[in-house]
Amino acid sequence: MRLLEYQGKELFAKAGIPVPRGRVAATVDEAVEIMREHPRPSVVKAQVLVGGRGKAGGVKFCSTPEDVVEPARAILGMTIKGEVARRILIEERMDIRQELYLSITVDRASKRPIIIASAMGGMDVEEVAATHPEAIATFRVNPAAGYWPYIGRRIAKQAAIPGSVMGQFVDIAGKLYALFFEVGAMLVEINPLAVTRDGALVASDAKVDLDDNGLIRHPEFESWRTDLPDHPLEQRARSINLNYAYLSGRGDESVGVIGNGAGLVMGTMDAVRAAGGEATDFCDIGGGAKAEVVRNAVDIVTADPRVKALFINIFGGITRGDEVARGLVAALDGGTWRKDKLVVRLTGTNEREGRAVLEAAGITAVETMSEGAARAVAIAKQG
Ligand code: GDP
Ligand code: MN
């Protein structure tokens, strides 16, 4: 779960990492109100999950309640890389002398947290890595030993961080490391970590990506979930605990895929693509899925207007074939989805019973995954 900048900065502030003072607004009026309370040189920033807001015009300056109107109006509702900015962060403007970079993520190869720093912050770190690899310093931390100040000093030296901010840098890196573990993050990134005219280090931007698998331990983030601009169908699925993903796609002749187990669903989507089609809707009903779950899955996937064929691929292990078949028949009975736009493959536990249930309802199951994929793609292309 990625956090918006203002949410990340809230976490930074709690962790003791210096951030500019600021507040969030959802309307122009709120923005004016904020500027009235704090008439000072400020930055107006689009709150979206994608990066590169600066280049896209999503970061603007203002100083008075009057001149916040134009940037606020321009940024609220602005689309940046496909994402609409519904909120703006208005914060005191820093007098920036230098832009540094600092992040922590997981290094998969060494299975350790890796601290990455550079004195060439403010721009794409990928670009810096490509053109000036020597300007990027890394340190893989042994999680059992944890972070120690010598680590921060070593990275700082290697990255050519100015000596005047060394102490602050070492302190911030330690606090960021502690935060990384405390919230269960996949990534915490400060770009730029600004050196101000007064020689202070301030986190001018915040990117935090939380590990979804750890969210169960952090109910405090639940309220931020609704802030995320997920697709409405994904929100609906989440509210009933269904694993569903709305994926982007080129056309509107797509095959919706339902299966039990994420691996099977991914494999099925590959099979659809191999058959020359497009699969945009991923739905995993999990193990032991009951009739009601199948019905919900069909309802959600077929609510996507791009979906023109539905391919249900069930491997009966814990999930009993007849149980799934009954759910399917029930879902189709109650809904508007046509049986001739449905392809079912059912194997494994209670396969025969399942097929009998389907056949009684006028649905024929296919034998193999590739046969099912080919048939579903043909149906989708008919529109
Ligand atoms: P991003 O483009 O989405 O990463 O957004 P950032 O928050 O990193 O802002 C982009 C750029 O705007 C930064 O690299 C800075 O150069 C500039 N910027 C942001 N906040 C301030 C500020 O308070 N003062 C100054 N002078 N520049 C800022
Ligand atoms: Mn940034």
Q: Which residue has the higher pLDDT, 289 or 85?
A: 85
Mutate-to-test residue for ligand 1 from 4, 62, 96, 198, highest number of ligand atoms within 8 A of CB? 96
**Cα-to-centroid distance, 192 and ligand 2 (Å):** 6
Burial 260-292 (b: 16+ CB within 10 A, else e): bbeebbebbbebbeebebbbbbbbbbbeebebe
pTM reported for the whole predicted model: 0.70
The answer to whether the CB of 177 falls within 8 A of the CB of 212 is no
How would residue 21 be classed by pLDDT, with cut points 50, 70 and 90? very high
**CATH (one of 3.40.50.720, 3.30.1490.20, 3.30.930.10, 3.60.21.10) for 21-92:** 3.30.1490.20
**Cα-to-centroid distance, 187 and ligand 2 (Å):** 14
Catalytic annotation present for 189: yes
Percent of the chain at pLDDT > 90 equals 72
Place of tokens 């704090």: 38
The residue from 5, 91, 99, 189 that is catalytic is 189
**Cα-to-centroid distance, 28 and ligand 1 (Å):** 21
How would residue 228 be classed by pLDDT, with cut points 50, 70 and 90? low
Fold of 232-382: Rossmann fold (3.40.50)
How would residue 212 be classed by pLDDT, with cut points 50, 70 and 90? confident
Nearest ligand to the C-alpha atom of residue 100: 1
Domain boundaries 96-215, corresponding CATH code: 3.30.470.20
Tell which atom from ligand 1 comes closest to the C-alpha of 205.
7
Tell which atom from ligand 1 comes closest to the C-alpha of 53.
3
How would residue 20 be classed by pLDDT, with cut points 50, 70 and 90? very high
pLDDT tens-digit readout, 99-111: 999 999 999 999 9
**Which residue ranges make up each domain of the chain?**
21-92, 96-215, 232-382
Interatomic CA distance for residues 59 and 92, integer angstroms? 13
The pLDDT, as a whole number, for residue 142 is 97
Strands 342-348 and 307-316: parallel
The pLDDT, as a whole number, for residue 338 is 87
Tokens of 332: 């189709």
The pLDDT, as a whole number, for residue 375 is 96
pLDDT tens-digit readout, 111-121: 999 999 999 99
**Cα-to-centroid distance, 11 and ligand 1 (Å):** 19
Rounded to 5 degrees, what are φ and ψ at 227?
-75, -15
Nearest residue to 319 (alpha-carbon basis) of 306, 328, 310: 328
Nearest ligand to the C-alpha atom of residue 54: 1
**Cα-to-centroid distance, 101 and ligand 1 (Å):** 12
Catalytic annotation present for 147: no
Average pLDDT, the chain: 92
Percent of the chain at pLDDT > 70 equals 98
The residue from 6, 101, 244, 246 that is catalytic is 101
pLDDT tens-digit readout, 31-83: 999 999 999 999 999 999 888 899 999 999 999 999 999 999 999 999 888 78
The pLDDT, as a whole number, for residue 227 is 53
Mutate-to-test residue for ligand 1 from 204, 207, 208, highest number of ligand atoms within 8 A of CB? 204
pLDDT tens-digit readout, 294-313: 889 999 999 999 999 999 99
Least confident interval from 31-35, 281-285, 289-293: 289-293
The pLDDT, as a whole number, for residue 230 is 67
Tell which atom from ligand 1 comes closest to the C-alpha of 50.
3
